[in-house]
């Protein structure tokens, strides 16, 4: 079981480092999904990308594992409004099927549970 958890920790970390890097490589995509009621769209896109990268890296360092896992839980909760905004406004994202937009919401819950599981 420990080997599986280690592999899943590395996978989770890689997902977040990759996703965080995309915030810098393709910021226009993330800017499009920012809810209009949030301020400082550019800063929030880059800040969330930075946190994804840093927390993903820290997740594989034993000394920081718990802190990183809790940080990812908080980050996933913080970015939930963007996913909800997309689901509620599918006409703004015609390239994504509406069902996929709605399926992302429970997926967010699974990612939160995964991060919580990795905290130890």
Domain ranges of the chain: 2-117
Please check the confidence at residue 25 and state whether its pLDDT lies above 90. Answer: yes
Please check the confidence at residue 86 and state whether its pLDDT lies above 80. Answer: yes
Integer Cα distance of 88 and 32 in angstroms = 14
Which string of DSSP letters, residue by residue, matches 71-93? HHHHHHHHTHHHHHHHHH-GGG-
Identify the residue whose tokens are 């993330």.
Answer: 30
pLDDT band at 120 (very low <50, low <70, confident <90, very high): confident
pLDDT given for residue 2 in this prediction? 87
Task: Indicate the burial class of 59 (C-beta count within 10 angstroms; 0-12, 13-18, 19 or more).
Answer: buried
Q: Roughly what angle, to the nearest 10 degrees, separates helices 2-25 and 98-117?
A: 130
- Whether residue 82 contacts residue 57, with contact meaning beta carbons closer than 8 Å, is answered with no
Integer Cα distance of 66 and 37 in angstroms = 32
To the nearest whole percent, how much of the chain has pLDDT over 90? Answer: 92
Question: What average pLDDT is seen over the chain?
Answer: 94
pLDDT band at 119 (very low <50, low <70, confident <90, very high): confident
């Amino acid at each position: 079981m420990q080997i599986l958890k280690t592999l899943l920790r590395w996978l989770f970390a890689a997902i977040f480092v990759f996703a965080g890097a995309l915030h810098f490589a393709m910021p226009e995509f993330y800017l499009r999904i920012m809810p209009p009621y949030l301020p400082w769209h550019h800063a929030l896109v880059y800040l969330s990308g930075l946190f994804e990268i840093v927390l993903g890296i820290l997740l594989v360092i034993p000394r920081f594992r718990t802190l990183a896992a809790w940080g990812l839980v908080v980050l996933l909760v913080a970015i939930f409004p963007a996913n909800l905004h997309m689901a509620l406004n599918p006409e703004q994202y015609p390239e994504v099927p509406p069902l996929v937009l709605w399926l992302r919401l429970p997926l967010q819950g699974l990612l939160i549970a995964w991060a919580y599981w990795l905290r130890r």
